[in-house]
Structure formats: structure tokens, C-alpha cells
Amino acid sequence: MSEIITPPIKPPSRFLQGLTRGFRRRCPNCGAGRLYRGYLTVEKTCPLCGHDNGQYRADDAGPYFTILVVGHIYVGPVLLMPFVWKAPIWLVIGLTLPALAALTLILLPLIKGAVIGAQWSMRGSGGPEPEDELVQESWVSPGAGR
């Protein structure tokens, strides 16, 4: 009788794992330590695993992607509602701006964490690994040796 062979279970991709951990505001390396010291201040080293989270630069990426997401999820659909065009301006501003601000403030640390997790999954801030000499040579500018 033949034996049933099951394929091995594929582990989740490192990129998806980094995005998920960062989105949950956890250390991208261990997934358990906290990523932030405050609202958006990144904890330099993970309190549990000691990973250097200060090496990841997500300064402008978080707000950029937050604006992109909020614009597509909230602003676009709101502009299609007849309420926005027919109601008094004070009522529209009074109802839409607080919701817009709340959504933006809620998503900003989540998206910044996902950016940090994505950087972790790509092994750093986008530059070559120091031990990879071939990649390191390709990053040298043509006029650097002159």
C-alpha cells in the first residue's frame, strides 16, 4: 500500500510577518516586545529581545501612507455622498473633520509600524548587507574613487 505524502507547510513570508508585527506595534524581530515608547517614538532597543529598532527610518513614510489610505478609505467615499454637497458647510465640517482626524490619528502609528516591519523584513533600511561584498561594490558611486 502506498504512503500518503503531504507537502510541507510553508512558513509565512518574512515580509508579511514583518508587516503584521509592525502593524500590531510590536518588535518586528520577536513579535512580543513593544515597538513604541510613546505615540510615535520608536523604542531604540526591544525590551525583550534586545533588537536594535532604532536603525529603521520611517520618518516620512508613515504619514505618507496614512494620507494615502485615509484619502482612499474616507475622503473619496465621503465626497460621493449627496450630504456633503447639500448640507450647510458648518454641519459638513463639524461631522466630517473629527472623524477624519480620529481615523488619521488611529492609523498613523499602525502604518508607521508596518513600514518598520517591512524594513526589518528587507534586513535594514534598504542598503546592502555589510558582509555582501558584491552588493556593496555595486552601491559605490562611479566617481567615488577619483
The predicted-structure confidence for 35-59, as pLDDT tens digits, reads as follows 999 999 999 999 999 999 999 988 8
Average pLDDT across the chain, whole number: 84
Asked, for residue 142, whether it belongs to a domain, the answer is no
Asked, for residue 67, whether it belongs to a domain, the answer is yes
Pick the most confident of 71-80, 99-108, 135-144: 99-108
Asked, for residue 111, whether it belongs to a domain, the answer is yes
Q: Residue 143 has what pLDDT?
A: 55
CA-atom Rg of the chain in angstroms:
22
Q: Residue 142 has what pLDDT?
A: 55
Total structural domains in the chain? Answer: 1
pLDDT at residue 138 tops 50: no
The answer for residues whose C-beta is within 8 angstroms of residue 45's C-beta and 6 or more apart is 51, 52, 53, 54
Asked, for residue 138, whether it belongs to a domain, the answer is no
Asked, for residue 145, whether it belongs to a domain, the answer is no
Could you tell me what percent of the chain has a pLDDT over 90?
65
The residue range of the domain holding 61 is 14-125
Contact 47, 34 (CB under 8 A): yes
Asked, for residue 43, whether it belongs to a domain, the answer is yes
Asked, for residue 132, whether it belongs to a domain, the answer is no
d(CA 119, CA 5): 37
Asked, for residue 104, whether it belongs to a domain, the answer is yes
pTM (2 d.p.)? 0.73
